[in-house]
Amino acid sequence: MDEIKELAEVRLTTSEGLAEAVAGSEGSAGADVLYQWHSFSPALRQSWAAASSLIWVHVSAAGVSQLLFEDLINSDVMYTNSRGVLSRAIAEFALGFVLDIAKDAQGSLRLQQAGRWQHRVTRKIQGQSALVAGTGSIGLEIASLFHAVGLRVSGAGRSSRPGDEHFEEIRSSKDLALVVRDFDYVVLAAPLTEDTKGLVDADVLSAMKLTAHLINVGRGELVHTDALVDALRSGAIAGAALDVVHPEPLPADHPLWSMDNVILTPHMSGDTEEYLDDLGKLFVANLKRFSRGEPLENMVDKRLGFVAVS
């Protein structure tokens, strides 16, 4: 905060006071920059009429689909996100899910709680295959860690293209139902856009291996939840590990809670002990660029809903 105060007048506000804070008052100019900590708040949409002086909005999240609205998209306001800050932590979480599944950590915990000493065999990860849907910064980190433990990794993105040092091949996510049958793990790390909403539906789930697992560290709405429940109940897939679901929070009576072949965590894969500081450091670095009139990092294509990297 001290670094920020050296560069700008600072106004701290809750969502309820946002309109007044961005509009300014008699003798106080409107705000040029908004740093939005709450990555799901509708406050800017609700206060947009008062935000006529805004030049730049920064959000402490990578996924911004829930924050964009037509007036903002159509405006000249620059929009940046926190792409890359949480990528490694999320990738570690995804790898943790794979290890948990392959080594049946959940089964061991249940046996321990029951006081049973029951020897079993588990899967070897080396040589298994993973498809990572989402080839941005999070997908690249996931691929890197998966390679380190011997997984074969392919990607699914907006379009098919040749493979690279991260992915053996990259297929179009529109063809997901034609691709998933070859993989032991299907990992979702894509941004939520109109193109990716409901990406994994009944057709995709039915095309997966019977022994395959779905892992979601992206957004809950990438998956048709009812179709996933049906696939898990019928044995169409072996299981799922979900850090995100739809809806969130998951209702207490939802069937996913009680399924032995499901691992659930409450949207926490990127939240490490240091993450708030790391998010703040990214903003300070960008604010320094802004004050010098330099291009900002992590500029979101507001039409696409994410940072477009060539």
Catalytic center residues: 219, 248, 267
Could you give the CA distance from residue 174 to residue 172 in angstroms, rounded to a whole number?
5
- Please check whether residue 98 is in contact with residue 130, taking contact to mean a CB–CB distance below 8 angstroms: yes
Contacts of residue 153, defined as CB under 8 A and 6 or more positions apart, other chains included, come to: 129, 130, 131, 132, 142, 143, 146, 147, 166, 167, 168
> How far, rounded to the nearest angstrom, does the alpha carbon of residue 310 sit from its chain's CA centroid?
20
Q: Which two tokens stand for residue 11?
A: 């106004």
Phi, psi dihedral angles at 120 (to 5 degrees): -140, 170
Core vs surface per residue 66-100: b (16+ CB within 10 A) or e? ebbeeebeeeebbbbbbbbbbbbbbbbbbbbbbeb
